Amino acid sequence: MNKPIDQDPNRSLTLVLYVLYIIAIFTGGLLALIALIINYVKLNDVRGSIFESHFIWQIRSFWWYLFWNVIAFVPFFFLFFTGNNPDLFAGVALGSTIFCISVIALSWIWIVYRAIRGIITLNDNQPI
Protein backbone atom coordinates (compact mmCIF):
# COMPACT_ATOMS: atom_id res chain seq x y z
CA MET A 1 0.00 0.00 0.00
CA ASN A 2 1.37 3.41 -0.96
CA LYS A 3 1.58 6.11 1.65
CA PRO A 4 0.55 9.65 0.81
CA ILE A 5 3.55 11.85 0.09
CA ASP A 6 2.88 13.92 3.23
CA GLN A 7 3.31 10.82 5.41
CA ASP A 8 6.34 9.38 3.62
CA PRO A 9 9.35 9.30 5.98
CA ASN A 10 11.57 10.30 3.06
CA ARG A 11 9.75 13.63 2.97
CA SER A 12 10.82 14.38 6.55
CA LEU A 13 14.34 13.22 5.82
CA THR A 14 14.53 15.46 2.75
CA LEU A 15 13.39 18.44 4.82
CA VAL A 16 15.93 17.69 7.55
CA LEU A 17 18.69 17.49 4.94
CA TYR A 18 17.74 20.90 3.54
CA VAL A 19 17.91 22.35 7.04
CA LEU A 20 21.31 20.70 7.61
CA TYR A 21 22.63 22.33 4.44
CA ILE A 22 21.45 25.74 5.66
CA ILE A 23 22.89 25.50 9.18
CA ALA A 24 26.10 23.92 7.86
CA ILE A 25 27.23 27.46 7.09
CA PHE A 26 27.72 27.96 10.83
CA THR A 27 29.52 24.64 11.41
CA GLY A 28 32.33 24.97 8.91
CA GLY A 29 30.53 22.64 6.53
CA LEU A 30 30.51 19.65 8.87
CA LEU A 31 26.72 19.31 8.79
CA ALA A 32 26.76 19.62 5.00
CA LEU A 33 29.19 16.72 4.83
CA ILE A 34 26.90 14.66 7.07
CA ALA A 35 23.91 15.60 4.89
CA LEU A 36 25.85 14.63 1.75
CA ILE A 37 26.69 11.21 3.17
CA ILE A 38 23.02 10.66 4.05
CA ASN A 39 22.05 11.78 0.54
CA TYR A 40 24.31 9.18 -1.04
CA VAL A 41 23.35 6.40 1.40
CA LYS A 42 19.61 6.93 0.99
CA LEU A 43 19.60 7.76 -2.74
CA ASN A 44 18.59 4.24 -3.79
CA ASP A 45 15.69 4.31 -1.29
CA VAL A 46 14.17 7.35 -2.99
CA ARG A 47 14.66 6.25 -6.61
CA GLY A 48 11.53 6.76 -8.66
CA SER A 49 9.90 9.13 -6.16
CA ILE A 50 9.73 12.92 -6.11
CA PHE A 51 12.42 12.83 -3.44
CA GLU A 52 15.02 11.54 -5.89
CA SER A 53 15.10 14.91 -7.63
CA HIS A 54 15.50 16.65 -4.28
CA PHE A 55 18.38 14.38 -3.29
CA ILE A 56 20.14 15.02 -6.60
CA TRP A 57 19.50 18.75 -6.18
CA GLN A 58 21.07 18.62 -2.70
CA ILE A 59 24.06 16.60 -3.87
CA ARG A 60 24.74 18.95 -6.77
CA SER A 61 24.30 21.96 -4.51
CA PHE A 62 26.94 20.58 -2.14
CA TRP A 63 29.50 19.91 -4.84
CA TRP A 64 29.04 23.32 -6.50
CA TYR A 65 29.19 25.01 -3.09
CA LEU A 66 32.46 23.20 -2.33
CA PHE A 67 33.85 24.08 -5.76
CA TRP A 68 33.19 27.80 -5.27
CA ASN A 69 34.64 27.76 -1.76
CA VAL A 70 37.84 26.19 -3.09
CA ILE A 71 37.98 28.75 -5.91
CA ALA A 72 37.63 31.52 -3.30
CA PHE A 73 41.02 30.61 -1.82
CA VAL A 74 42.95 30.18 -5.09
CA PRO A 75 44.22 33.80 -5.25
CA PHE A 76 46.11 33.28 -1.98
CA PHE A 77 48.38 30.94 -3.95
CA PHE A 78 49.80 34.02 -5.67
CA LEU A 79 51.26 35.20 -2.36
CA PHE A 80 54.09 32.71 -2.93
CA PHE A 81 55.17 34.70 -5.99
CA THR A 82 55.47 38.09 -4.31
CA GLY A 83 59.08 37.48 -3.26
CA ASN A 84 60.50 39.95 -0.76
CA ASN A 85 58.34 42.82 -1.97
CA PRO A 86 56.15 43.81 1.00
CA ASP A 87 54.02 46.20 -1.06
CA LEU A 88 53.22 43.51 -3.62
CA PHE A 89 52.52 41.02 -0.82
CA ALA A 90 50.11 43.47 0.84
CA GLY A 91 48.34 44.20 -2.44
CA VAL A 92 47.94 40.54 -3.35
CA ALA A 93 46.83 39.70 0.20
CA LEU A 94 44.23 42.48 0.19
CA GLY A 95 42.93 41.59 -3.28
CA SER A 96 42.83 37.89 -2.38
CA THR A 97 40.97 38.59 0.84
CA ILE A 98 38.36 40.75 -0.87
CA PHE A 99 37.90 38.13 -3.60
CA CYS A 100 37.67 35.31 -1.06
CA ILE A 101 35.13 37.03 1.17
CA SER A 102 33.03 38.03 -1.85
CA VAL A 103 32.95 34.54 -3.35
CA ILE A 104 32.20 32.88 -0.01
CA ALA A 105 29.41 35.37 0.75
CA LEU A 106 27.86 34.78 -2.67
CA SER A 107 28.15 31.00 -2.27
CA TRP A 108 26.44 31.23 1.15
CA ILE A 109 23.59 33.18 -0.37
CA TRP A 110 23.41 30.70 -3.24
CA ILE A 111 23.31 27.57 -1.03
CA VAL A 112 20.62 29.10 1.20
CA TYR A 113 18.61 30.04 -1.90
CA ARG A 114 18.88 26.47 -3.23
CA ALA A 115 17.81 25.01 0.10
CA ILE A 116 14.86 27.39 0.50
CA ARG A 117 13.77 26.77 -3.08
CA GLY A 118 13.97 23.04 -2.41
CA ILE A 119 11.97 23.35 0.82
CA ILE A 120 9.25 25.33 -0.94
CA THR A 121 9.06 22.79 -3.75
CA LEU A 122 9.05 19.93 -1.25
CA ASN A 123 6.25 21.62 0.67
CA ASP A 124 4.24 21.68 -2.57
CA ASN A 125 4.88 17.93 -2.94
CA GLN A 126 6.64 18.50 -6.27
CA PRO A 127 9.96 17.25 -7.63
CA ILE A 128 12.55 19.93 -8.14
pLDDT in tens, 96-116: 999 999 999 999 999 999 999
For residue 83, the model assigns a pLDDT of 83
pLDDT in tens, 8-22: 788 999 999 999 999
Band of the pLDDT at 3, cuts 50, 70, 90? Answer: low
- Mean pLDDT (whole number) for 89-95: 92
For residue 80, the model assigns a pLDDT of 86
Q: What angle do CA 62, 64, 65 make, to 5 degrees?
A: 60
Spatial separation of the C-alpha atoms in residues 104 and 56, rounded to whole Å: 23
Band of the pLDDT at 1, cuts 50, 70, 90? Answer: very low
Give the DSSP letter string of 54-119.
HHHHHHHHHHHHHHHHHHHHGGGGGGGGSTT-HHHHHHHHHHHHHHHHHHHHHHHHHHHHHHHHHH
Query: 40-43 long-range CB contacts below 8 Å, 24 or more apart?
Result: 42/10, 42/13
pLDDT in tens, 24-83: 989 988 999 999 999 999 999 999 999 999 999 999 999 999 999 999 999 998 888 888
